[in-house]
Chain A
Amino acid sequence: MSDVFLVGNGAGFSGDRVDAPIPVVRTLIQRGLPAALFFEVLGERTVALAQLERRANPEAGYEPMLERLLAPVLADCFHHRIPILGNFGAANPPAAARCIARLALRLGLPNLRIAVVAGDDVMGSIALDQLPVHEADGSIDISSARLIAANAYIGAEPLVAALKAGADVVVAGRTSDPALAIAPLVAHFGWSLDDWQKLAVGAAAGHLLECGSQVTGGVFWDPGRKDIPDPANIGFPIAEVTRDGGLIITKAADTGGLVDLRTIKEQLLYELHDPAHYITPDVVLDISGCHIEQVGKDRVAIHGLKGEPAPESLKVTASFEGSWLGEGEVSVAGPNALARAKATADVLLQRLKLRGLPVRARVDLIGVASVHDSDDGALWRAYEGPEPPDIRIRLAAEGATRDDVDQAAREVLALLCCGTAGTGGARWRVTPRILTRSYLVLRDRVPTSITSRTAQEIAA
């Protein structure tokens, strides 16, 4: 067992349970093996939203729950030499590092070493219009759209350098999710960055862990069908990796949730397209020949992973200011609710037409059909089943200006007096939208660097 390294996950997205890292770190310490902990908090658009925060406040733009996530575990990790890695720097890694430094000083850890990884932010440094487009939201007019953020998905290499330089915490912005798990393995075992077999194991560990509880029972549990113990206290995952590339997924001790063949399969295929080509900046992972085995309670081994050479190019995701989204909701309930809801929906759409508002709109009847429906309401219009006791009517409208969609959403508010009998509970809001487009860029055009300083030095 001496040649085993543990990788724990403390968050799977921005908004995850903030107390999740505590039992993970407790377990890593109890196991007494070399270990690392990582936090994955960046969705596709998160950096752009963070960049908007940073524009409003130069000290913002990093993971807003950073301090809450780290405060209970930072001292334990430091004292037990468990490095922490995270893309919680988002659009402002230096400010995230300052936040961690302040926390460290409060906890009496002036020598905590914090490394900041730079280079993912390519806004201004790379001319996007020269690059091949990888994927795009259909409606972007690139000549007039206002760019918010452009970030390359960087791989494990700078993270490894930071760990080798003695970092206790590695603060990154946009990295590939699996890189956060690959890096501590490479740093510990000394794997070569072209040992595709080993990197494939690291990438699989990262892929299985990157969404936190999704591999230990989260978005898996289905009461009466796929039950899990204590869903209010799902334990977050831990990967056990051996030097020769063995991989077992388990979870924090004394927690809820479970790890079995079913949870592993669901997460293995999550957000995957061709199972033979899962592209990361560090390796192309092939799970098409993989098989899995339950080797103990809450322990599943993954066999037969294959790796192919890393791609020449990195993915850059650019985010642009988009249109506006207005949403409004009201409720009806009790006798004749279905007829009242359908009539309300039709009247809302009629009102938008009458007023000539230049918006694209949709109505949902929540409780009849909504998330499975289409913009034209094909499912709720066809619905003639038993009458639901309680229906929420939702209008969504998209348009080029804030005022247009605000006026559309306020048509829902007006139903409080003009609507059907027994209409109530109005809410409405207007939010800006972001459009994204991804490009491919040769990796040598995305140089990375690290800055490693102690908490005391950063705070000074």
Chain B
Amino acid sequence: MSDLVELPLYDLAHSRAGDKGNRANLSLIPYKPELYPILAEQVTEARVLALFAHRGATRCRRYDLPLLHAFNFVVDDVLEGGVNASLNLDGHGKTQSFRLLAMTVQVPRHLVP
């Protein structure tokens, strides 16, 4: 267990972002099923909410899909008013999936793809 490496999620998983109003959803899909429990433990609602604190996000909910080996994060009030009100170039928040993928986690070396 001592042989842990710290990596961005980008090296372990992929993600896509969608929007509804001022709420975004971000999927997180590990490349290997064995990574699913590790991400479940480390990519918490609180950490994802903190990732978007600078944009005023108020709540993050994680839905787990163990049969698909995937997670769905729903983040409220993260889109600066949503596509109708935001001053952001990307009012839909489609690019936010790659902000999530920049988050780092610690994984056993043998599970690194």
The residues of B that contact A292 with a CB separation of less than 8 Å are 68
6 contacts between A and B (CB under 8 A): A137-B21, A266-B27, A269-B29, A288-B65, A291-B68, A372-B99
- Of A32-40, A120-128, A409-417, A428-436, which binds chain B? A428-436
B94 neighbours in A (Cβ, 8 Å): 219
Shortest Cβ distance from B16 into chain A, in angstroms?
Answer: 4
Q: Hey, which chain A residues are within 8 Å of B90, CB to CB?
A: 371
How many pairs, one residue from A and one from B, have CB atoms within 8 Å of each other in the complex? 123
Give the interface of A toward B (CB within 8 A): 44-45, 135-139, 219-220, 222, 225-226, 262, 265-275, 287-292, 304, 322, 325, 360-362, 364, 366, 370-375, 378-379, 394, 396-398, 433-436
- With A269-B25, A271-B19, A374-B56 as known contacts, state yes or no: A291 contacts B80, CB within 8 Å: no
The 5 A-B pairs of least Cβ separation, nearest first, read: A271-B18, A269-B27, A396-B87, A371-B90, A362-B87
Cross-chain contact A138 with B72 (CB below 8 angstroms): no
A289→B89 contact, CB < 8 A: no
Chain B, range 85-106, C-beta contacts under 8 Å to A: 85, 87-90, 94-96, 98-99
A370 touching B89, Cβ below 8 Å: yes
Tell me the smallest distance from the CB of B52 to a CB of chain A, in Å.
9
Q: Which of B48-106 contact A (CB under 8 A)?
A: 54-56, 63, 65, 67-68, 70, 72, 74, 80-85, 87-90, 94-96, 98-99
Contact of A275 among B65, B96, B98 (CB under 8 A): B65
Residues from chain A with Cβ under 8 Å of B83 in the complex: 44-45
Chain B residue with the shortest CB-CB distance to A436? B84
A396, B65: Cα distance in complex, Å? 39
Q: Does B70 lie within 8 Å of A269, measured CB to CB? A: yes
| Bound-state Cα–Cα, A221 to B9, Å | 17
Shortest CB–CB separation between residue A337 and chain B, in angstroms? 19
Count B-side interface residues using an 8 Å CB cutoff. 39
Q: Are B95 and A371 in contact (CB under 8 A)?
A: yes
Q: Which residues of B contact A360 (CB under 8 A)?
A: 87
CB distance B84 to A219 under 8 Å?
Answer: no
- In residues 11-26 of chain B, which contact A (Cβ within 8 Å)? 14-16, 18-23, 25
CA distance A287 to B67 in the complex (A): 10
Chain A's closest residue to B17 (CB) is A270
Q: CA of A408 to CA of B38 in the docked complex: distance in angstroms?
A: 49
Q: Are B84 and A137 in contact (CB under 8 A)?
A: yes
Once the chains are docked, how many angstroms separate the CA of A212 from the CA of B19? 17
B81: contacting residue among A138, A219, A271, A394, CB under 8 A: A138
Cα distance A371–B84 in the bound complex, in angstroms = 15
Q: A361-B87, A374-B56, A394-B89 are in contact. Are A137 and B68 (CB under 8 A)?
A: no
